[in-house]
Structure 1
C-alpha cells in the first residue's frame, strides 16, 4: 500500500476488475497471478529453446532430460492459468444468472402490484390532487423536527445506523427497485405479468431507471421540488499547473468542491491543446432548488436523461476555457460529478477520449465506443445503484467493498461508503494494483497530460469555476 493509506488503515475488500471489452469479473489478485503464470510460461518456453540450441552446438552435454522437464513445467503453468480463467468465467456466469433471476422476479412483482398502485395514484391525482398533496405534507410533518429541521432528523438517523444501507445486498435491492419502475407502469396499463418479465420490453435502455427518475421529477414538481432553472458560471481563479496528476488517487484529489469545476489546459509547441475537466460532487441534497446547481434536482434530472443545471454549467465552463469540439478532453468526476462527466462524454458534442468516474449514478448513461478509462464503484455504496446496472461500454470497471465484512462502519457521516474518504482508499488500492490490465489503464490515463508537459514548450494552466442557479 502507498504511504497515504497503510494496510492497517484500509478497511475495504479486494478489487474486482472487469477489463474493457470483457464481461469477465476477476479479482486483481487473480489477474496478477495469471500475469505471473503467463510470464513464467514464456520464460520456460524461451529456456527450452535455448537448451535445444545449446544441444545442437555442444553435443554430448548431459542435457537430454532438461527439455522435457521444462515443457512439463510450462504445461503446468498453462494449465493453472487456464484454471484461473475458468474460475473467473464461472463466477461471472453465476453472478449474471443470479442477477437475471432477481430482475425477472422484481419485474414480475412490479407488474403484479403495478395495476393497483398506478390505478390508485391515478384516481388520487384525477379526483383529488389536493388530497395527494395533503398526504405528502402529513407524511413529512410526521417526521420529528430536530435541531436542523426534518431533513436533519432523517440525516441523523441514517448516520446513527450506517449498517442499514452500507452492504452490497442493500445496494443490489436499490438497483432492483429502480429498474423495476417501468415494469410497474407496464403492469399498470394492463400488460400481463408474464409478458412484462420477457426481455426487450423495457421502456428505456437502462430498464426503468430513467422512467423512475422522470416519475420522481414529475411528482416532486407538484410539491415545488426538482424544478430546473437557468444557470450561470464565473471563472474564480486561473493558475499555472506545476505537475500533471499521476495515478488514480491524484486525479481524485484534483476534483473540486464548493467551486464545482476545474479545467486544466495543456499546451506544447506545435500541438493542439488538450484539456482535463474535473467535476465536483453534490453540494446540497435539498430537493428544492436554490442557487446551488450541484443539488438533488440535477441528480434526478441527470439520471432521467434530461438536461440538469450542473451539466449545463460544465458545458458553459468548458466553452469559457476555450475548448473546441475537436480538442481532446479527459473528464473526471466524483458522485454527481461522475454522472455529469459521463453525460459530457455521451453528449457527442465534445471530443472526449478518456473518462474516469468515482461513485457515479451513471450506469444508465450510454458512453460512445472508443472512450477509455475507468468506472470506479464501491459495491456497498448505494448512490451508483440509483442508476441501475452498468450499460456496456469500453471503460474498465473496478469495484470493491469499502467496508469489508466484520469491519466497524463509521457512524459520523451518512452513506459512509459514498464518502470521499472511502473512495480515496479505493483509489489508493487501485494505484497499488498488481495486475497488468489495471496498471496499463492507469498509465494510459496518466499519459494524456504527461505527454504534453514532456514536450518542448509544455505548460499547463488550471481554471476554476463557480456555477449558480439564476
Structure 2
C-alpha cells in the first residue's frame, strides 16, 4: 500500500506567524469572518450616523440593532481568541512540566549508567543471558531474527504513529543532554547552568554523533555535486501541494531560475528527503549522518551539497531565494534560510526535524508537520515562529495507519494529503502565506521570461 484512497487526516491546526497560539483552521477562518463583519457593521454605523434621512425609517430604530450586531461579532471573536490562548497556555504548561520530569529522569538514569557499565564489565554473564534469551525468544522466519523484528514493526505501525509517541520522542530529544551530564556526575539542580535556546536538542544530537562515532557511525566527509539535467517548465508553482510535488528524490536538489526582462533574477531551491537510514556513511549524503549533524547545528554533507549546487546555479548572496524541503530536505532548507550567507525570503517545509533552528526576520512561508509523525519531533518542540505552523494528524480518530510501511505519517503520500487540505484552507493566516509563496514566481513567464530547472546529484567522497 503506497497511497490512501480517502483522506483519513484530522483538522488543520494553525499557529499564525509570530504567535504561539494554536487555532483550528475552521475557527481561525470564523474569527476572520467575524472580524470582517465587525468592520463592515462599523462602516454601516458611520454611514447611518452621517445620513440625513433613511427614506422614512427612524434612525433610532436602525442604529441599536446595528450596534448590537457589531458588539456581538466583537465579543464572539474575543471569546474565540481567549479560548485559543487558554488552550495553548495549558498545553505549554503541560509540556514544560513533562520536559522537566523527563530531564530529571534522564539525569537519574545517566547517574546510574557508569555503575551499570562497571557491573557489566565485572560480571557480563547476567546481561548476556538476558540478551541471548530475548533474542532467541523472537521467532525466526528463515530470513533471520532482525527481519522478523522488522516485519513485526511494519505490521504494527500504530506503535510509532500517534501524537503520544511523537510527544515521547520530543521529550527524549530534549533529555539526551541531561542524561549525558548525569553520566558525568553533574546533578540535576545544576542543569539551568547548561540551559540553551533549543532545550538542549543540538547538544543531545552532538552526544549521539560522538557516541556513534566510537562505533564507526555518523562519519562526515566531503561531497561532490554534479548537475545532471537542465529543462524549462511552463509556470511557477501554485499551492502547498505543487510546492511539495516539486521536491525531488534520488537526484536530491532542484533549482528553478526565474528570469524576465526588467525583473530581478530569483531562485527557488527544492531539497529532497533522506535517501538512506543507515547510521554508517556510504556515498549517499542524504543519510542519517546528515540528519544528526543537521540537528546538532553542525555542517552536514547534504547542506554543503545544496550550497554547492546553489553556487553552480549562479545564486549570489543578495539574490532572493525561496527554499522548499521535505523531511531532511526541510531541515536543510531551514538551515539555508537561517544562514546569513543567503537572502531567503520564503520557505515551505514538510515533516522537517528543524524545530530548534531560529530563522531571521523577513522569511515568509509555512512549516507543515503531521502530529503523528515522530520525525519532526527528533528536533524537539517547535521554538521558532517566523513561519506559520500548520499541523494535522495524518491518521485521525479510529483510522488505522497502513501496514507494511515504515512511519506511515512521515511518508510523502501522507504529506500530500495534508498539503491538499492546506490548499483548501479558509483562514487568512494560511492563505496569506501561500499567496506570498506563490507571488515569488508570478509574472516571469507572462512578461517574456523563463523558468529554467537545474537538477543536481551529490555523492560523498573519502
Counterpart CA distance in 1 for 2:139 and 2:292 is 26
Counterpart CA distance in 2 for 1:214 and 1:445 is 34
Within the alignment, does 1:459 sit opposite 2:450 as a pair?
yes
When residues 141 and 275 of structure 1 are mapped into structure 2, their CA distance, relative to the original with a 3 A threshold, is farther
Match of 1:160 among 151, 155, 161: 155
Paired residues for 1:29-428 under 5 Å: 29-54=26-51, 56-57=52-53, 61-118=57-114, 120=116, 152-196=147-191, 198=192, 201-202=194-195, 204-428=196-420
When residues 442 and 59 of structure 1 are mapped into structure 2, their CA distance, relative to the original with a 3 A threshold, is closer
Equivalent position of 2:460 in the other structure: 469
| TM-score scaled by length of structure 2 | 0.91
When residues 311 and 37 of structure 1 are mapped into structure 2, their CA distance, relative to the original with a 3 A threshold, is same
Equivalent position of 2:8 in the other structure: 11
When residues 139 and 235 of structure 1 are mapped into structure 2, their CA distance, relative to the original with a 3 A threshold, is farther
- Aligned-residue offset at 1:167: 0.6
When residues 85 and 260 of structure 1 are mapped into structure 2, their CA distance, relative to the original with a 3 A threshold, is same
Alpha carbons 1:374, 1:398 under 8 Å: kept = yes
- Aligned-residue offset at 1:187: 2.6
Q: Is the deviation greater in 179-188 or in 157-166?
A: 179-188
- Aligned-residue offset at 1:270: 2.7
Counterpart CA distance in 2 for 1:140 and 1:332 is 44
Counterpart CA distance in 1 for 2:187 and 2:7 is 49
Counterpart CA distance in 2 for 1:140 and 1:209 is 32
- Aligned-residue offset at 1:60: 5.2
Counterpart CA distance in 1 for 2:292 and 2:395 is 27
Counterpart CA distance in 1 for 2:145 and 2:200 is 30
When residues 161 and 59 of structure 1 are mapped into structure 2, their CA distance, relative to the original with a 3 A threshold, is closer
Alpha carbons 2:13, 2:23 under 8 Å: kept = yes
Counterpart CA distance in 2 for 1:175 and 1:373 is 24
Alpha carbons 1:240, 1:462 under 8 Å: kept = yes
Aligned residues: CA RMSD: 2.7
When residues 61 and 215 of structure 1 are mapped into structure 2, their CA distance, relative to the original with a 3 A threshold, is closer
Counterpart CA distance in 2 for 1:99 and 1:333 is 28
Equivalent position of 1:447 in the other structure: 439
- Aligned-residue offset at 1:178: 1.3
Partner SS for 1:329: strand
- Aligned-residue offset at 1:224: 2.0
Counterpart CA distance in 2 for 1:345 and 1:148 is 45
| TM-score scaled by length of structure 1 | 0.90
Deviations 1:45-71 (A, max 9, x none): 2222233333x2468533421111110
Counterpart CA distance in 2 for 1:57 and 1:67 is 13
Deviations 1:341-400 (A, max 9, x none): 111112221111111110001112222222221111001000001111112241111111
- Aligned-residue offset at 1:152: 4.5
- Aligned-residue offset at 1:189: 3.3
Alpha carbons 1:330, 1:355 under 8 Å: kept = yes
